Amino acid sequence: TRVPRGRPAGDSPGIPLGSPPACWGEGRDFSAVAPPVSLLLVSHHSAGAPEEEHIIRSHLHRSQGEPQGSHHVPDHHLPQETLFRQAGGVTYRIPALLYVPLDDSFLAFAEKRSSARDEDAKYLVLRRGCQHGTSVKQWGPMEELSALALPGHRTMNPCPLYDARSSTVFLFCICVEQGKTERCQIWSGCSAARLCFATSADGGRSWSTLRDVTDEAIGADLSRWATFAVGPGHGLQLDSGRLVVPAYTYYVHGCLCGALRLPCFTCQHSLVFYSDDGGRCWHKGALLGGQRTGECQVAEVGGPRQPVLYCSARAPRGCRAVALSTDLGLSFQQPAPCVALGEPPGGCQGSVVSFAAPARSAGAPTWLLYSHPTDRQRRRDLGLYVNPSPLDGAGWQQPWVLHAGPAGYSDLAVCPGGVFGCLFESGASSACEEITFCLFTLDPSGDQDLKAP
């Protein structure tokens, strides 16, 4: 039986995991909750680059006596490659990364904009990278996906996912009516966004026409959605085969009725769209209730007997919001603040993935990896966080800083052999200057040295 859709899930039945604490991790000693983990940063190789691997290692956990909120900043240049760069009045924002096992490749997506403003988005762009072991040999040229658009609309928020059963890449996005800002939609209570996707059967080399599934997936509830968006960043396929697309909406809870119908109480809520038939039909899950939650990503944790969908959502109150689902995203328990994962004022998008725990490591069989700016005052210093105990909000270890300086949105991808990719916004004076790619692996040895052999 499906949970009724379209309303916040605050009145839905409780999830049999027990309620989370008022704040995840509150009052815990973060220095003692998990074994140390190190990162091996592995460079990619562009065409003509030398074949040797450059490996940089850094300790990931906070040592005894180190104050909460501190993090490790590397003193070596990390092997990274800029895939999109601001130039000539063109800005690239909103990265999304997908690993395609069909041909061992990465698909790196972004929005092409005429300025950094959301309303100046034009269409999506793509670069393909061919993986070879623990490196990327070559990135192809930028492809403009201008055909993936609705007339009179701008294409935004790339959200790719891979269906392993059909070897199909799905690229979700929203198409927003030109000239309609998010603020305008929220004030009017009338959404100008459409939920769309295209598919590729050849690893992103060619794409189907764009399909608009707004009415199918949202239905009559669209009249209460002031606006909405997917992701941004990757979606995923669950072990059950279900395809899941993270999303959020500004839900109109109340209106002032008169000559003009004006929204008087509009609030952000995260949710997921899903399909159980390989992408032919799409539905929406219940909205997260409780506190305001916005841009989000989800990861599957737990075992096959009791899978849990972990939702990490942007929140405005200084730290990340987390909610769990045991019905594969049909509903989520009330979100709770995760004090270990800070947010700058206004929040920032972040990425989360789950992966099999390293061999001979302590903790749960499935771990979480999370990327987000570590500075709680500004969007700076992109960090990588590991949680060996995903259902414990205090399990997050202190971050390892991947990029020191301005940093914004990011997206993670999991590859075979314990390799991960990260695509992120960065720059010297502004996070909108570049979108950069980096490969790395996890090392549970606990080696605290930072080395570049």
* Predicted confidence (pLDDT) per residue in 195-250, tens digit: 999 999 999 999 999 999 999 999 999 999 999 999 999 999 999 999 999 999 99
At residue 41, the pLDDT reads 54
At residue 256, the pLDDT reads 63
Q: Are 410 and 372 in contact (CB under 8 A)?
A: yes
Three-class SS state of 417: helix
Looking at 99, 409, 411, 433, which residue is catalytic? 409
At residue 22, the pLDDT reads 56
The DSSP letter of residue 391 is T
Is 425 considered catalytic here?
Answer: yes
Tell me the residue type at 155.
T
Q: Are 390 and 366 in contact (CB under 8 A)?
A: yes
Three-class SS state of 33: coil
416: CB partners within 8 A, 6+ apart: 101
Is 409 considered catalytic here?
Answer: yes
Instruction: Find, among 283, 296, 388, 290, the residue nearest to 327 by Cα.
Output: 283
pTM of the model: 0.86
At residue 361, the pLDDT reads 74
Looking at 375, 425, 434, 443, which residue is catalytic? 425
Structure tokens that stand for 214 in this block: 């707004």
Three-class SS state of 424: strand
217: enclosing H helix or E strand:
helix 214-218
At residue 433, the pLDDT reads 96
Domain boundary assignment for the chain: 57-443
At residue 450, the pLDDT reads 26
The DSSP letter of residue 72 is B
How many angstroms separate the CA atoms of 196 and 157, rounded?
11
Strand segments (E) across 55-214? 55-59, 81-85, 91-100, 105-113, 121-132, 135-139, 143-144, 153-163, 168-177, 193-200, 211-212
Is 92 considered catalytic here?
Answer: no
How many angstroms separate the CA atoms of 424 and 427, rounded?
10
Three-class SS state of 182: helix
How many angstroms separate the CA atoms of 138 and 439, rounded?
13
- DSSP-derived secondary structure for 255-290: EE-SSS-EEEEEEEEEEEEEESSTTSS-EE-PBP-S
Residues of the chain with pLDDT under 50: 1-21, 27-34, 43-69, 74-76, 259, 446-453
Does the domain formed by 57-443 have CATH 2.120.10.10? yes
Q: Are 62 and 30 in contact (CB under 8 A)?
A: yes
Looking at 81, 118, 433, 443, which residue is catalytic? 118
